[in-house]
Amino acid sequence: MGLNSYGGAIVYIDLTKEKVAKKKLDEDFAKGYLGCKGFGARILYDEVSPRVDPFAPENKIILSVGPLTGTSAFGPKCSLVTKSPLTGGFLDSNIGGHIGPELKYAGYDTIVISGRSKRPVYLLIDDDNIEFKKADHLWGKDTHETDRLIKKELNDSDVHIASIGPAGENLVRFACITSDLYRQAGRGGSGAVWGSKKLKAIAIQGSRSVNIANEELFLKYSHDLRKATLEGGGPFATYGTMLFVDLINEYGMLPTKNFQSGVFPEVKKINGDAMLKTIKSKDRACFACSMHCANFCVVKHGSYAPFNIEGPEYETTTMVGPNCGLGNLEAIAYINLLCDKVGLDTISTGNIIGFSMECYEKGVLTKRDTNGLRLTWGNHEAMVELIKKITYREGIGNTLAEGVKSASKEIGKGAEKYAMHVKGLEMPAYDPRGAVGIGLGYATANRGACHSRAWTISEEVMGKLDRFSIEGKPMLVSVKMHRKNIIDALGICEQMGLLPIYVDLLSAATGWNVQAMHNKTYPSLIEDFKIKNENIMIGERIYNLARAFNIREGFRRKEDTLPKRFFEEPLPEGAAEGHFINSDEFDKMLSEYYKIKGWDKNGIPTRKKLVELNLEDVAEDLWS
């Protein structure tokens, strides 16, 4: 019997040679990196050497689950780690739903995919049996059709499938992976990496068991967790992330018209209440989760009806809606579905369309450049057409398919000042002028502009901190970064946060003595986990390892920044009117952050810090 609560094996799949090799999961490795993103970060650092092109066969796709995946403790996430074709740096992206647990039931903690197939291929993972299946007939099909066809072909409706759509096949640099139709590993372009390897889909079926070290205790804690979720869910259980549309608009930081404003006048048409009244049909949940924050919507009216979708979520709604000047929830939901099917990240797509619309507004792009499309704010018909052009790389779509950073350079004529990204990853749906801490999070997250690596909204907007001041923010972001790395290594959902009970759950599941480390400044927050006798802060370790991957690729302090707009243009209206981020203060905040982190003034983790985290080999790489 292997390790309790783990699948017990890592499998290496070489698409070039069509070879499979399995390796037993090592206990020290599990204790040192926990799972999910932790496993992915270590394997990517070790096995993808610097300067490898993200689309080269040498890049790897690392899918991992965590120690709580497949148990009753809400661990639905499967993490996907690779080198991002958008940023050229570290990428981790999570997928919810059911495919992670299925991978665990097949007996694996991690699959590492390398090489490049000559022909389109999909992988069938059925416990011990791993097959390379022809996918010529699936190439070109959207993710929903692919899901249906594979289930039919395998004559198995219980199999769980993750696939790419035509956007991934055509190497659109912000292509996503779709699983169980409505669940995505959205950010950073992992779908294009699949496309570069001619990997259309992975279908997983597992029938093995997950063993727990202390079953009785584990069940008790997981029942407590369920109870806490049901009692504490409140409006989140009803609205899900759509709860934030009104809130963030009230605080004047809801990205509107490509971050030109933080207030959307038509917000009432697209908020949580509008969803409940017009399109929501029922609650849905990820695997083993009592929260059921997902909204299943049945759209019966509007130009695109009838159709079904699980979603839209807050990020999609805001980036496709207000950020593109669109106040039509049915159209937003349809664009969400279209992106899921063709396999595009909705956040990046909304960002890039908003960028294109601002270029059009400012005369940088004209009808001649857009092949006749009138890219006026809120023109959803044009948005749908533009998404198709991006997917199939037609005309202007071919330029935009490279991501907002590259596209803005190619378009020129000053378009770069309308490109809202960090390190090449398009910015998500919180304007950092309304909460500078989240701006620091965007600047220092390893995958680029990401809201969820250090989601400071709870303290900055809903909490006591002055949201416009840099005071206390470096420490807050530092705590949040470590914390999020633990969440992402366990494979639990960020919406639940890192509750103290997860310490007990992980201990009961593995039989290890897991200890929570609380932050002194924010004593209510668990900052990190360590396992007794191991003495390593695991969250901080994973964060630094991913940082080291980026440092090795040449990322330095100058990449840890925000688009100029946030330093130069005050927000024109609403509760954050007049606010912008003072660039000297931002610099000061960044320096303080580096100091807290034990990084030098260029943002490189010091030898001392890396040794402290038991990453001596990484210290050698960076400092000798």
Partner 1 sequence: MAYKRMVVHPDKCIGCRLCELVCSMEKEKKFNPKRARIKILSEIEVGASYPKVCVQCAKCPCIEVCENDAISVEEETRAILIDDGRCTYCGDCVAACPFGAIKLVPGEKYVINCDLCGGNPICVKICPTQAIEYKYTRSS
Binding site for partner 1 (CB under 8 A): 70-72, 98, 105, 144, 180-182, 207-212, 215, 219, 223, 226, 229-230, 281-290, 292, 296, 298, 308, 310
- What is the rounded CA–CA span in Å between residue 487 and residue 481? 10
- What is the rounded CA–CA span in Å between residue 164 and residue 172? 11
User: What minimum distance in Å lies between the beta carbon of 65 and partner 1?
Assistant: 13
Which residue number, 279 or 404, has a Cβ lying nearer to partner 1?
A: 279
DSSP state of 604: P
Alpha-carbon torsion angle 375, 378, 384, 390, nearest 10: 50
User: What minimum distance in Å lies between the beta carbon of 142 and partner 1?
Assistant: 13
Which residue number, 110 or 222, has a Cβ lying nearer to partner 1?
A: 222
Q: Please name which of 361, 366, 426, 418 lies closest in space to residue 396, comparing C-alpha atoms.
A: 366
CA 150, 151, 154, 158 dihedral sign is positive
User: What minimum distance in Å lies between the beta carbon of 551 and partner 1?
Assistant: 39
The C-alpha angle 522, 524, 530, rounded to 5 degrees, equals 90
User: What minimum distance in Å lies between the beta carbon of 28 and partner 1?
Assistant: 24
Backbone dihedral angles phi then psi of residue 134, each to the nearest 5 degrees:
-60, 140
CB 258 within 8 A of CB 415: no
User: What minimum distance in Å lies between the beta carbon of 207 and partner 1?
Assistant: 5
| Widest distance between CA atoms in the chain | 68
Which residue number, 309 or 319, has a Cβ lying nearer to partner 1?
A: 309
CB 66 within 8 A of CB 491: yes
For the beta carbon of residue 596, count every other beta carbon within 10 angstroms. Answer: 14
For the beta carbon of residue 268, count every other beta carbon within 10 angstroms. Answer: 13
Which residue number, 286 or 576, has a Cβ lying nearer to partner 1?
A: 286
- What is the rounded CA–CA span in Å between residue 492 and residue 551? 28
- What is the rounded CA–CA span in Å between residue 315 and residue 461? 17
Exposed/middle/buried for residue 290 (C-beta within 10 Å: 0-12, 13-18, 19+): middle
CA 383, 398, 340, 293 dihedral sign is negative
Token pair belonging to 124: 């069938």
User: What minimum distance in Å lies between the beta carbon of 282 and partner 1?
Assistant: 6
Which residue number, 72 or 317, has a Cβ lying nearer to partner 1?
A: 72
Looking at the DSSP assignment, which residues form a beta bridge with residue 78? 95
The C-alpha angle 79, 81, 87, rounded to 5 degrees, equals 130
Strand runs (DSSP E) across 475-586, as ranges? 514-518, 526-531
DSSP state of 254: S
Which residue number, 144 or 518, has a Cβ lying nearer to partner 1?
A: 144
Which residue number, 70 or 437, has a Cβ lying nearer to partner 1?
A: 70
User: What minimum distance in Å lies between the beta carbon of 100 and partner 1?
Assistant: 13
User: What minimum distance in Å lies between the beta carbon of 531 and partner 1?
Assistant: 22
User: What minimum distance in Å lies between the beta carbon of 411 and partner 1?
Assistant: 39
Which residue number, 41 or 161, has a Cβ lying nearer to partner 1?
A: 161
User: What minimum distance in Å lies between the beta carbon of 148 and partner 1?
Assistant: 8
**Within 13 Å of residue 221, how many CA atoms lie on the same side as its CB?**
21
Which residue number, 182 or 512, has a Cβ lying nearer to partner 1?
A: 182
User: What minimum distance in Å lies between the beta carbon of 284 and partner 1?
Assistant: 5
Looking only at the bridges linking them, the beta strands covering 425-426 and 294-299 are: unpaired
- What is the rounded CA–CA span in Å between residue 380 and residue 378? 6
Looking only at the bridges linking them, the beta strands covering 199-205 and 121-126 are: parallel
Which amino acid belongs to residue 213?
A
User: What minimum distance in Å lies between the beta carbon of 509 and partner 1?
Assistant: 10
Which amino acid belongs to residue 607?
R
User: What minimum distance in Å lies between the beta carbon of 394 and partner 1?
Assistant: 29
Which residue number, 298 or 499, has a Cβ lying nearer to partner 1?
A: 298
The C-alpha angle 62, 63, 64, rounded to 5 degrees, equals 115
- What is the rounded CA–CA span in Å between residue 65 and residue 75? 9
Which residue number, 281 or 602, has a Cβ lying nearer to partner 1?
A: 281
Which residue number, 21 or 230, has a Cβ lying nearer to partner 1?
A: 230
Token pair belonging to 430: 């919180």
User: What minimum distance in Å lies between the beta carbon of 188 and partner 1?
Assistant: 25
